[in-house]
Amino acid sequence: MAPIKLKCTFNAQADKGPKSDFTQDIEVEDTDQAGFSIKVGQTREIELQASDDNRNISFLLIKPNWSNPENLIYSASADGQTWSSEVTLDKPHVYLGTGLISLLGVIPKRLKFTYNPPAPAAQAKKPEPTTSAQANKPDSTNDEPKRIEILVGRSVFTDTSAQCKPSMSMSK
C-alpha cells in the first residue's frame, strides 16, 4: 500500500506582533476519523486502533467543537487497563510525530474522555417575563451533549504482510 501524506499547516500570529508558521507533511499508512458526543458527567472510551495492531500512531488531532471547554480531560492507554496521566483538553490538541505522542506515556490504543464542567454560577434573580413567549423560552445550559472530533494517522511500517484495516471504534 502506498503511503498517504497528511499535510499539516499551522499559522500563529500575535496582534501587531511576531508570527510563525509551518507546513509539515507526515507519511502515514492509513487514517481514521471519528466524531462523538459527550454529556456532562459522562466518560467515553475511544479505540484508536485494535489491540493487535502494533503500528505507531504518528499523527493525532483531538478537537472539541466548542470554545473554552471546562473540565474536559482525557488519558491514553495501550491496553485498556492502565491509563496515562490525565490531560486537559482546553483547546484542540495536535500531536505531530511519534516524539510528541510519546509525551502521553504510552503508544495509545485507546483514549478515555471525561467531561465534568463546574456547575453554573449562581445568577442574580431575573425579572419576571412580560410575555408568554419569554416565559416559555428555555435557558441555555451546559447539559447539552458536546462533540469531539478525532483524526488519527498510523505510521508506515515495513512488514508488508500485515493487513491495513480501519480500526477506530467508540464505546458508550
Instruction: Note the pLDDT of residue 15.
Output: 94
CATH 2.60.120: does it fit domain 25-118+143-157?
Answer: yes
Strands (E), the chain: 4-13, 19-38, 43-47, 57-64, 72-77, 87-88, 93-96, 110-115, 146-155, 169-171
Per-residue pLDDT, 74: 96
Domain positions in the chain are 25-118+143-157
pLDDT digits (tens, 9 = 90+) for 22-63: 999 999 999 999 999 999 999 999 999 887 887 889 999 999
Cell of 172: 458508550
Mean pLDDT (whole number) for 149-164: 65
Give the CA angle between residues 66, 71, 73 to the nearest 5°.
Answer: 90
> How much is the average pLDDT of 5-34?
93
Is there a contact between 155 and 56 (Cβ–Cβ < 8 Å)?
A: yes
Count CA within 13 A, CB hemisphere, residue 171: 9
Distance CA 48, CA 150 (A): 9
Quick one: pLDDT at residue 95? 94
From 71-75, 81-85, 154-158, 160-164, the region with the lowest mean pLDDT: 160-164
The residue among 138 and 70 whose pLDDT is bigger is 70
